[in-house]
């Protein structure tokens, strides 16, 4: 495939192409241009086969070179980055990457998701550590203007990226939302990206040497509610975590957020004086200590109600929240809202709800659903940027046509309705419309609707569904780790003057959990063996590689030979007194091995020769005498 970057006039910032080694280009920083790409357009496709740095790719700092058909970034210390590409709101960023060398298992590389062309802060990245099975093996994080890291999300990968192994990373971004994929499986999501007006893309390395290949960026449609390949169902907390806290309260929202729900679903109605409150029923009787239709009660009356005691004594004093309070909490503490317009008799009443969404600056984090088609039509007229979902208890004859008519991002049937025609999920997906099924609370049902391919499940039990998703991911086949000792080679015969480096090769293993021993004593990969400290004869290198699916063990046996050259090297490097070294070398030259052994032992006792060296010299000398006697 020809190496290329797809572009159009005005799409990319002007930059400089350069071949060979790049450490820092002295360009005036340029903003990333907004692209006019359509969904599905591949706006960046680069395999580096040209052998030179692509046009428009800017090495801000560090050592970035194209070598052997791969882009190689080196950061001996600290964080180094390279910027490229256009500004995109909705996109998929893919790359094949390999850790070539790391300072330690905590070092990382990242795909930059919103980074100024100059590399100036703030910027957002999706990170992978070489020890990716750690609790923070993958991350979403921001480097703030103050130079501090704001890590918003962490997760653990099922197997270690390690070194020398290609991994496929993929990030799908929709505005402030992003999903993290490793080798085709989603590891985590975030809804906390803070997007700039012109930030582009980047590759980043930290304390490592990393090579990249097959970098591809694809423009996506705005509907981020469609389930990407390799992702679990989206978890939507019905009325908050309503199985664990009083519904439609801030307690339920907090429990749902801490459970890991992707969206909080709540019902909104207007008070007598036109203030939007969270309430499912027409009356406040069931879920508060008050009585009456919510539309007959003023905000002052609603604010005095206890909305928690009915659920459990520990929630006594919980209040009926306003929509404004709920949105402010989601904006400042994290979370997106699936807002159900429960009851509104006019366009003006719907407008009162939309006005609050706008006032709280949450139009990019609110999804509106309703059973009323008029409600959805009014929302589209008032705020066409808001995604819409139609709730149905009985399927329409042609859900796709209804979705087109109402400008739906999602068609949301009950579980029972969907059971009558599960094939509509595929039909809706073909039309670019998601499916959110409600209200599903058991593992058997989750499995069924997951099999239908639904994009999201609305549930009263978000924590349990999050755990079910995780258990399903862990239950998938994870490759078994492999291990091999590559140096010293099995069966090698070495002399004292050699200094072989211990090297191992592992796959699907956690680098932090890889153990290497020489004759049972711990050793580090990359460290040379000091053969002047080993006895003549056989020695064993053992590596134990541990991964998500078990452990693998490999050994290699090498022999330290006793010969005249090796014995001479031992004597010269022994640290003995000059007179002792000269005496021992003289006996070696005359072939007096027994005398040499006795002299070494004596010198060790008198302190003229270090004790450890005396033992090794004596042992080698006796072996040489034995060899001479048998010839």
For residue 373, cis peptide bond before it (omega within 30 degrees of 0): no
Grouping H, G, I as helix, E, B as strand and the rest as coil, residue 606 is helix
Q: At what angle do helices 578-589 and 593-606 cross, to 10 degrees?
A: 170
DSSP character string of 417-429: HHHH-TTHHHHHH
Grouping H, G, I as helix, E, B as strand and the rest as coil, residue 139 is strand
Residue 541 CB neighbours (<10 A): 24
- Residue 26, pLDDT > 70, answer no
> pLDDT digit string (tens) for 456-503?
999 999 999 999 998 887 665 556 678 899 999 999 999 888 889 999
Grouping H, G, I as helix, E, B as strand and the rest as coil, residue 74 is strand
Within-domain flag for 529:
yes
Give me the pLDDT at residue 514, please: 86
CATH number at residue 339: 3.20.20.190
Residue 334: in which H helix or E strand, if any? none
Active-site residue identified among 176, 225, 238, 375: 238
Give Cα 17 distance to the centre of its chain. Answer: 31
Residue 263 CB neighbours (<10 A): 25
Within-domain flag for 13:
no
345 as an active site residue: the answer is no
Residue 562 to residue 620: CA distance in whole angstroms: 5
Within-domain flag for 321:
yes
Within-domain flag for 213:
yes
Within-domain flag for 25:
no
328 vs 164: which has the higher pLDDT: 328
Helices (H), 315-442: 323-333, 347-359, 373-382, 399-406, 415-420, 424-430
Mean of per-residue pLDDT scores for the chain: 89
Mean pLDDT of 509-519: 84
Within-domain flag for 5:
no
Confidence of residue 1 (pLDDT cuts 50, 70, 90): very low
Residue 503 CB neighbours (<10 A): 16
**Calculated CA dihedral for residues 437, 440, 446, 450, nearest 10 degrees:** 0
Mean pLDDT of 569-593: 93
523 as an active site residue: the answer is no
423 CB contacts (<8 Å, ≥6 apart)?
Answer: none
Residue 435: in which H helix or E strand, if any? strand 434-437
Residue 179 is part of which domain span?
Answer: 42-219
Task: State the Cα angle at 576 between 575 and 582, rounded to 5°.
Answer: 120
Give me the pLDDT at residue 549, please: 57
3 within 8 A of 90, measured Cβ to Cβ: no
Residue 266 to residue 549: CA distance in whole angstroms: 41
Is the same domain home to 288 and 422? yes
Is the same domain home to 331 and 193? no
Is the same domain home to 139 and 195? yes
Instruction: Indicate the burial class of 61 (C-beta count within 10 angstroms; 0-12, 13-18, 19 or more).
Output: middle
Is the same domain home to 366 and 270? yes
Q: Distance of CA 72 to CAs 19, 44, 169, 627, Å?
A: 13, 18, 16, 53
DSSP character string of 523-587: --TTPBP-GGGS-SEEEEEEEEEEETTEEEEEEEEEEE---HHHHHHHHHTS---HHHHHHHHHH
HSE at residue 158, side-chain half, CA atoms within 13 A, is 19
Is the same domain home to 335 and 366? yes
Domain end residue (candidates: 473, 491, 522): 473
CATH number at residue 169: 2.60.120.560
Answer positive or negative: Cα dihedral of 223, 225, 227, 230.
positive
Answer positive or negative: Cα dihedral of 295, 299, 302, 307.
positive
Is the same domain home to 75 and 159? yes
56 within 8 A of 30, measured Cβ to Cβ: no
The closest alpha carbon to 236, from 216, 252, 223, belongs to: 252
- Residue 8, pLDDT > 50, answer no
Give me the pLDDT at residue 301, please: 98
Is the same domain home to 553 and 573? no
The closest alpha carbon to 57, from 161, 207, 191, 203, belongs to: 203
Instruction: Indicate the burial class of 543 (C-beta count within 10 angstroms; 0-12, 13-18, 19 or more).
Output: buried
Active-site residue identified among 280, 375, 508, 539: 280
Is the same domain home to 350 and 388? yes
Is the same domain home to 552 and 617? no
Within-domain flag for 310:
yes
Residue 509 to residue 479: CA distance in whole angstroms: 9
Confidence of residue 10 (pLDDT cuts 50, 70, 90): very low
Residue 544 to residue 262: CA distance in whole angstroms: 39
Give me the pLDDT at residue 31, please: 47
Within-domain flag for 18:
no
Backbone angles phi, psi at 155, to 5 degrees: -160, 170
Is the same domain home to 540 and 583? no
HSE at residue 285, side-chain half, CA atoms within 13 A, is 5
Domain end residue (candidates: 189, 219, 249): 219
CATH number at residue 506: 2.60.40.10
User: Does pTM surpass 0.75?
Assistant: no
116 within 8 A of 31, measured Cβ to Cβ: yes
Q: Distance of CA 142 to CAs 80, 113, 243, Å?
A: 15, 10, 34
- Residue 29, pLDDT > 70, answer no
For residue 489, cis peptide bond before it (omega within 30 degrees of 0): no
Domain end residue (candidates: 473, 492, 519): 473
Question: Where is mean pLDDT largest: 28-37, 508-517, 574-583?
Answer: 574-583
> pLDDT digit string (tens) for 64-89?
999 999 999 999 989 999 999 999 99
Is the same domain home to 304 and 410? yes
Is the same domain home to 521 and 581? no
Q: Distance of CA 564 to CAs 491, 532, 533, 579, 617, Å?
A: 21, 14, 17, 20, 11
Report the DSSP beta bridge partners of residue 125. 112, 141
Residue 495 to residue 45: CA distance in whole angstroms: 52
Q: How many domains does the chain divide into?
A: 4
Give me the pLDDT at residue 533, please: 85
């Amino acid at each position: 495939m020809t190496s290329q970057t797809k572009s159009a006039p005005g799409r990319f910032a002007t930059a400089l192409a350069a071949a060979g080694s790049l450490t820092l280009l002295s360009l005036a920083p340029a903003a990333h241009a907004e692209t006019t790409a359509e969904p599905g357009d591949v706006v960046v496709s680069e395999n580096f086969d040209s052998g030179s740095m692509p046009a428009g790719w800017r090495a801000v700092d560090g050592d970035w070179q194209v070598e052997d058909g791969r882009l190689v970034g080196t950061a001996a210390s600290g964080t180094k980055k390279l910027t490229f590409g256009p500004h995109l709101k909705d996109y998929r960023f893919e790359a094949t990457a390999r850790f070539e060398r790391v300072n330690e298992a905590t070092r990382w590389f990242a795909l930059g998701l919103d980074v100024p062309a100059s590399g100036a802060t703030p910027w957002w990245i999706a990170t992978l550590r070489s020890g990716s099975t750690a609790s923070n093996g993958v991350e979403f994080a921001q480097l703030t203007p103050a130079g501090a890291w704001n890590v918003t999300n962490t997760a653990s990968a099922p197997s270690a990226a390690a070194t020398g192994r290609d991994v496929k990373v993929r990030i799908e971004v929709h505005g402030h939302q992003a999903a993290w994929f490793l080798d085709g499986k989603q590891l985590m999501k975030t809804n906390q990206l803070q997007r700039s007006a012109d930030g582009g893309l980047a590759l980043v390395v930290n304390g490592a040497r990393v090579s990249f290949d097959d970098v591809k960026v694809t423009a996506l449609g705005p509907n981020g509610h469609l389930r990407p390949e390799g992702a679990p169902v989206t978890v939507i907390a019905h009325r908050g975590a309503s199985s664990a806290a009083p519904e439609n309260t801030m307690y339920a929202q907090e429990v749902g957020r801490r459970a890991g729900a992707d969206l909080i679903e709540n019902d909104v109605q207007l008070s007598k004086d036109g203030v939007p409150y969270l309430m499912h029923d027409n009356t406040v009787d069931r879920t508060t200590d008050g009585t009456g239709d919510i539309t007959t009660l003023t905000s002052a009356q609603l604010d005095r109600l206890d909305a928690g005691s009915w659920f459990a004594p520990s929630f006594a004093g919980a209040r009926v929240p306003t929509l404004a309070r709920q949105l402010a909490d989601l904006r400042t503490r994290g979370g997106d809202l699936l807002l159900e317009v429960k009851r509104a008799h006019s366009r003006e009443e719907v407008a009162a709800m939309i006005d609050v969404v706008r006032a709280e600056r949450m139009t990019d984090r609110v999804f509106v659903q309703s059973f009323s088609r008029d409600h959805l039509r009014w929302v589209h007229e008032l705020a066409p940027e808001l995604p819409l979902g139609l709730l149905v208890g009985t399927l329409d004859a042609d859900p796709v046509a209804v979705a087109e008519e109402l400008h739906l991002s999602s068609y949301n049937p009950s579980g029972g309705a969907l059971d009558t025609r599960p094939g509509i999920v595929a039909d809706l997906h073909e039309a670019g419309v998601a499916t959110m099924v409600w209200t599903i609370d058991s593992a058997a049902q989750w499995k069924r609707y997951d099999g239908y391919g639904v994009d999201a499940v609305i549930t009263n039990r978000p924590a349990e569904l999050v755990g079910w998703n995780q258990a399903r991911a862990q239950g998938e086949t994870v490759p078994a780790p492999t291990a091999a000792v590559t140096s010293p080679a099995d069966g090698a015969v070495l002399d004292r003057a050699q200094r072989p480096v211990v090297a191992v090769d592992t796959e699907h293993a956690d680098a932090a959990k890889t153990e290497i021993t020489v004759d049972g004593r711990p050793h580090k990969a990359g460290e040379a063996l000091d053969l002047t400290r080993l006895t003549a004869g056989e020695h064993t290198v053992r590596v134990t590689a541990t991964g998500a699916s078990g452990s693998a063990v490999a050994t290699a046996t090498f022999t330290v030979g006793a010969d005249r050259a090796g014995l001479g090297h031992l004597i010269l490097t022994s640290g003995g007194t000059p007179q002792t070294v000269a005496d021992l070398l003289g006996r070696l030259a005359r072939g007096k091995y027994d005398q040499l052994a006795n002299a070494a032992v004596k010198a060790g006792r008198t302190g003229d020769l270090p004790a450890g060296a005396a033992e090794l010299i004596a042992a080698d000398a006796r072996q040489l005498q034995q060899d001479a006697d048998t010839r």
